């Protein structure tokens, strides 16, 4: 493919690019990095207000690095994929310790919790390096433009298409095109500035590119969450630092298993994780378990930093208390 399509796409991007807070000029590496971590497997609409809240609270990477784990994890609550928050903490502290972000993809990869995509994105967007960030939107556009079904061939194809000296702008042009026009389903080929160059459109089957990932059936698990009330307070704990939802506030309870426990729950909340689904059974308990925790006022439950799983389980329990019945 010649440079014509790349030029058309860059022209379209300059005229129609999304107005996003992390794209303010001049680019600030901290903002670029923070947004890229937040945007992993999370929508722009969800991330935008949370990004602004983080910036208001911690305007620099040094400020974020100085915050406690509990503060950051609490602010992250509701964004999901909580390993990202722990990686965010580790990376912020490493950057603050070295006096700033490294400016190359290779050096960025050495930071804790910073993977291949994020390193390439920060290098290209914040520092102007000719790195090639491949997120889901970029992969889809490249696959369709070149008619490539095999995802393993996409990095090489993308590397040959990104115009030298403009990798950051071109990456965002592909991201915007994939988000608004070259969508997974019902792509808007009639509005695409590079439709005439698209191999998948020429074949008449753009939705078949790239080939869909094989989805594995997720196992199902069960969990107990103790609902311990003292007047208008509820007992909360902090989960162990390692493992799923590590370090997050939670309702107390034993480890989850594949066997349904014998219990008479006040409420049940079904939750989907990436690799399994869970029925969390909220069971009343008279006294808190023998573990460290705290009494959280129910009218300030939103301030506890509960992840979505426990927040919705608590909401289901409160609803069941108001109208006693099993809440699914």
Catalytically active residues are 36
Q: Give the closest residue to 220 by CA, choosing from 278, 268, 267, 263.
A: 278
| Cis bond before residue 210 (omega within 30° of 0) | yes
* DSSP assignment letter at 115: -
Give, in order, the Cα–Cα distances in Å from 152 to each of 148, 175, 204. 9, 19, 23
Q: How far apart are CA 190 and CA 170, in angstroms?
A: 21
Helical residues (DSSP H) of 68-151, grouped into ranges: 69-76, 83-98, 105-108, 116-127, 136-146
Which DSSP category does 272 fall into?
A: E
CA atoms in the 13 A half-sphere facing the CB of 148: 17
Using DSSP bridges, classify how beta strands 220-227 and 277-284 pair: parallel, antiparallel or unpaired: parallel
* Residue 269, Ramachandran bin (φ over 0: left; ψ between -120 and 50: alpha; else beta): beta
What Cα–Cα distance (Å) separates residue 315 from each residue in 46, 234, 235, 251, 271? 21, 12, 14, 12, 13
Question: 154 and 161 in contact (C-beta within 8 Å)?
Answer: no
Give the containing element (helix H, strand E) for 235. strand 233-238
Sign of CA dihedral 128, 130, 131, 136: positive
What own/partner pairs with CB < 8 Å and gap ≥ 24 does 12-17 have? 12/173, 12/177, 12/193, 12/194, 13/169, 13/170, 13/172, 13/173, 13/176, 13/177, 14/169, 16/176, 17/172, 17/173, 17/176
């Amino acid at each position: 493919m010649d440079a014509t399509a790349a030029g058309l796409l860059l022209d379209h991007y300059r005229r129609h690019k999304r107005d996003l807070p992390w794209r303010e000029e001049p680019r600030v590496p901290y903002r670029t990095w923070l947004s890229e971590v937040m945007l992993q497997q999370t929508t722009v609409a969800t991330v935008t207000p949370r990004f602004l809240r983080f910036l208001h609270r911690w305007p620099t990477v040094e400020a974020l690095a100085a915050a406690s784990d509990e503060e950051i994890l609490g602010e992250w609550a509701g964004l999901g994929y909580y390993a990202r928050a722990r990686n965010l903490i580790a990376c912020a502290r490493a950057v603050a310790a070295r006096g700033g972000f490294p400016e190359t993809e290779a050096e960025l990869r050495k930071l804790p919790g910073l993977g291949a995509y994020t390193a390439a994105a920060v290098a290209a967007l914040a520092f102007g390096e000719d790195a090639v960030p491949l997120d889901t939107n970029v992969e889809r556009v490249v696959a369709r433009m070149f008619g490539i079904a095999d995802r393993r061939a996409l990095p090489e194809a993308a590397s040959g298409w990104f115009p030298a000296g403009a990798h950051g702008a071109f990456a965002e042009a592909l991201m915007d095109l994939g988000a608004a026009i070259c969508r997974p389903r019902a792509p808007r080929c009639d509005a695409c500035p590079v439709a005439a160059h698209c191999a998948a459109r020429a074949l008449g089957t753009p939705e078949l590119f790239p080939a869909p990932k094989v989805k594995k059936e997720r196992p199902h698990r069960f969990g107990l969450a103790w609902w311990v009330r003292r007047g208008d307070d509820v007992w909360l704990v902090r989960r162990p630092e390692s493992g799923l939802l590590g370090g997050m506030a939670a309702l107390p309870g034993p480890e989850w298993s594949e066997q349904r426990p014998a219990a008479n729950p006040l409420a049940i909340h079904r939750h989907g994780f990436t690799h399994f689904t869970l029925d969390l059974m909220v069971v009343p308990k008279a006294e808190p378990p023998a573990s460290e925790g705290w009494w959280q006022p129910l009218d300030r439950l939103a301030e506890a930093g509960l992840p979505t799983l426990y927040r919705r389980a608590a909401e289901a329990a409160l609803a069941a208390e108001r109208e006693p019945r099993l809440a699914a």
